[in-house]
Structure 1
Amino acid sequence: MNRRTVLAVVVGAALLVPGCTGTGGSSKGADAKAPTDPSKVTGTIKVLTVRTDLVQDGTLKKYAAEFNKTYPKVKVEFEGLTDYEAEVKIRMNTENYGDVLLIPAVIKKADYPRFFASLGTQEERGKKYRFTDYTTVDGKVYGQSPVAVSPGFIYNKRIWKEAGVTEWPTTPAEFIEDLKAIKTKTDAIPYYTNFAAGWTLTSWTYVDGAVTCDPQATDKLAEGDPWAKGADLRTGDQLLYDIVHSDLIEKDPTTSNWEESKPRTAKGEIATQWLGTWAIVQFQDAAKKAGVNPDDIGFMPFPSQTDGKFCATIAPDYNQGINVHSKHKAAARAWIDWFTDKSTYAEDNLAISPLKDAPLPAVMKPYEDEGVKFIEVDDAQGARVKQLDSDSEVGIYAPEYRQNLVDLARGARKGSLDGFLADLSKRWTDAQKNLGS
């Protein structure tokens, strides 16, 4: 699985199997303190990961070899899981779910102390790292992501230039006109939905916050109507609908292919996809393998400006946590700290570092040149949003919602966009009333 999967898989807390709420540690949890003497840290730890590609090609072993230069008495073993969420969810009914693992999206935030050891207080870790609120329970932090990501459009700069477009569109209407120019003046598919993969469409939820440049966007999902006029999700859904309805996508979305879309975009057969910074290195690698210029792969923000500036949200990828039952918590903590602070993982993936003092990756220089404003969306209401998503059965983090939207736009599903969005609004706001304050 060589893609970003954080929150791009099922998130609903309703998917948590009953046993998963009581098989972890005590409600008070446990601490995994950072070791002070590397020579005294010992043990074999198992690290669970979605990066099956890095397990298979030996990249993770290379990281472990570097880690062993500091911690020679720790052996690190890796297990890559293709259907990560489903498999780990089952394992977490036991005590055997690795020593270090990516915190599954289905685990309720309040249950983190049952399953994971604390990495320290938010007050302490917040001085050095971004996004500590995403895994904080009662003032303690239970997970750390090694990279941060930002949503945006992967695009082929050469194709856009051939269509006569040299400036990023600043409104959804301009974006549609630019795609129409690509369709008229080039042979490329203007926009590729990657409908069949499903998870790719969930990336559209991450327009939230970027459209209106609002760090409190999650609060508005928790307390307001995400599909009200002018709301971020409505704006994103309207754009996706218009792209499809204007026949600016692949001929048959149901036969789209994620892996094939990477070299096809690199070669200019596809012009644009909405994904995220995590995808840039994959598309550039595809370009190299295809013998075309990797510099043709560009990245642009959502076509909306606030006070004359584009905005882009940044958020953590999967957070790594330590199994509360691990017999080698010091070794597990050493791995998480080293992998986050010292490894080249973020650099190798052209990703944004969670370290507050780290520079942006070079691939984001166009964002700096254009003065794009980065915002960190407050996740204080994140648990409530997941609960609302589950109760309403809308599925803003699941594929079906956007697949239904695409089907509606291309005429494979009956109804109107207004009716479709009104139904989402009603189900969401009804869930808010039932959930209460």
Structure 2
Amino acid sequence: MRSGKVVKALSIVASVAMLAGMSACGGNAKSSSDSNTITWLSARPASEGTIKSINAIAKEYAKKHPGFKLQFQNISDRNSYNQKLKVLASSNQLPDMWDADPDPYFKQLVSNGKTEDIGALYKELGVQNKFYKISTDYPKLDDGSLHLITLSANAEYFFYNKDAFKAANITEAPTTFDEFLQDLPKLKQAGYTPLAVDGKDQWPFYRYLGMLPFRETGNTYLDQLKDGKVSMGNPTGKEAIEFLKNVSQYFQEGFTNTDATASLNLFKSKKAAMTYDGTWDLPELVGPDGNLKSDIGYFRMPILSSKDKTKPTDFFANSGIGTAISKGKLTPTLKDFLKYFFKNYGDVAFNKYATIPSVKPDTESGAPQVYRDILKDIAGVNTYAKVWDVQLDSNTTSVLGRQCQSLLVNQGNEATFISSVDQAIKQNKESK
């Protein structure tokens, strides 16, 4: 599951061809120790700054190590990727490296001995302090172990149209949820869609659900919910559902069928006053100088009160999808490349490709001010808000998504929402 914008799917023909090719080029059947070729199955699009940075570093490394080759297989449609990953894992054909979220399925692969210990690798290479805290905390499993290399440090914000706020006589961005809820009808009365949302991919629903519980309990409510220790219908859960219902009346018409691109375009065209999104979309919101366009502002997740469990500087920040190394594939070649990679990635990603990396850059000389400001926000997170669609198992997440859509278009009710989610969690617990 994606902690952010879902990219456009590959064409069916291209996907099938790529999926078929993976069996031949990567897996336990042929170890990368036989050559200097490293295979990497990636869920990221090849056009992403992260991939461009990796390829640029690999190219420089190859100049110093003749014969070295980093071979990517990109499957950017997440459903297709997840299906392929499960096929490879079940047939013992995982490539050297492969992308994954720290979700229940990945935890199962770790338990089955499919991955290398990344925490031990970082310690061996002496790079554990080179990463932003969020980039090593986010992918850790419940037992504190680390089995994923992260490449990004993402932050999520409310981006807003300054002209829309001015038209609605809103003089400053809200800092509390009370102010936020008071601003929404003002923006609607001023002729704007208050909130553009990517309803088709559903992940923003889970963020809105998680905001109040995070401010009230930190991650405790979500942790207890996924373990079946509390109900979706306890006071905190009901408050979360009510908040989502409340803000949904300010989403654009037909929001359940609006994808990420259309939602962002609604905001960029100034038809929507705000959108909740992540720093992965910064390239769409900046001007020629790399800074945010002058008519766009942003603010962090609001607070409830001074009694919140979390600080105002704590919010939804994550490291996106991570990368695992198959057990037994951490060869001297791969280890040496990764040492070189960790040394150079922060600077290359941040200063050359305007990508916010997991590794701290040594210099920020080439970065626009907005990127520097966001890095300070990321570095200032003490407790990050866990992502519901990563913490919950895939079936429960599917149930949650369907119930959100049904409830928000007035085809469902709160009681059904609660019982369906609780039952899905119970079934997941009983299946283990």
TM-score normalised by structure 1 residue count: 0.69
1:242-274 per-residue CA deviation (whole Å, 9 max, x = no partner) reads 122x3x121122442322332332231222223
Partner Cα distance (2:377, 2:332) in 1: 44
1:399-431 per-residue CA deviation (whole Å, 9 max, x = no partner) reads x524532432332x042x3x2454257437856
Which segment is superposed worse, 177-186 or 233-242?
Answer: 233-242
Tell me what 1:15 maps to. Answer: none
Tell me what 1:52 maps to. Answer: 45
* Contact kept in structure 2, 1:195 and 1:254, CA below 8 Å: yes
Offset of 1:333 from its aligned partner? 3.4
The size of the alignment, in residue pairs, is: 387
**Pairing partner for 1:94 from 80, 91, 96:** 91
* Contact kept in structure 2, 1:99 and 1:329, CA below 8 Å: no
Offset of 1:153 from its aligned partner? 2.2
Letter of the 2:258 counterpart: S
Q: Which runs of 5+ in 2 are unaligned?
A: 7-26
Q: Secondary structure at the match of 2:82?
A: helix
Write out aligned runs for 1:172-187 (5 A). 172-186=177-191
* Contact kept in structure 1, 2:195 and 2:272, CA below 8 Å: yes
**Pairing partner for 1:78 from 49, 72, 81:** 72
Q: Which runs of 5+ in 1 are unaligned?
A: 7-23, 26-31, 33-39
Write out aligned runs for 1:27-426 (5 A). 43-54=36-47, 59=52, 61-68=55-62, 71-81=65-75, 82=77, 83-103=80-100, 105=103, 107-112=105-110, 114-121=113-120, 124=123, 127-129=129-131, 130=133, 131=136, 134-135=139-140, 141-186=146-191, 188-204=192-208, 207=211, 210-212=214-216, 214=218, 216=220, 218-221=222-225, 222=227, 224-225=229-230, 227=232, 231=236, 234-244=238-248, 246=249, 248-279=250-281, 281-284=282-285, 294-307=293-306, 309-310=311-312, 311-326=314-329, 329-343=331-345, 344-345=348-349, 348-351=353-356, 353=358, 355=360, 362-363=369-370, 374-377=381-384, 386=392, 389=393, 393-395=395-397, 398=398, 401-411=400-410, 413-415=411-413, 417=414, 419-423=415-419, 426=422
1:363-405 per-residue CA deviation (whole Å, 9 max, x = no partner) reads 36667999996233598xx99954xx46xx532xx4x524532
Letter of the 1:259 counterpart: T
1:316-367 per-residue CA deviation (whole Å, 9 max, x = no partner) reads 32121112253x7333334444444422335645436355999999436667
Partner Cα distance (2:376, 2:173) in 1: 12
Query: Measured at CA, do residues 207 and 357 of structure 1 come closer, stay the same or move farther in structure 2, by a change above 3 Å?
Result: farther
Query: Measured at CA, do residues 73 and 157 of structure 1 come closer, stay the same or move farther in structure 2, by a change above 3 Å?
Result: farther
* Contact kept in structure 1, 2:158 and 2:276, CA below 8 Å: yes
Partner Cα distance (2:137, 2:51) in 1: 30
When you count helix as a share of all residues, which structure comes out higher?
2
Partner Cα distance (1:423, 1:431) in 2: 12
Letter of the 1:111 counterpart: L
Q: Secondary structure at the match of 2:196?
A: coil
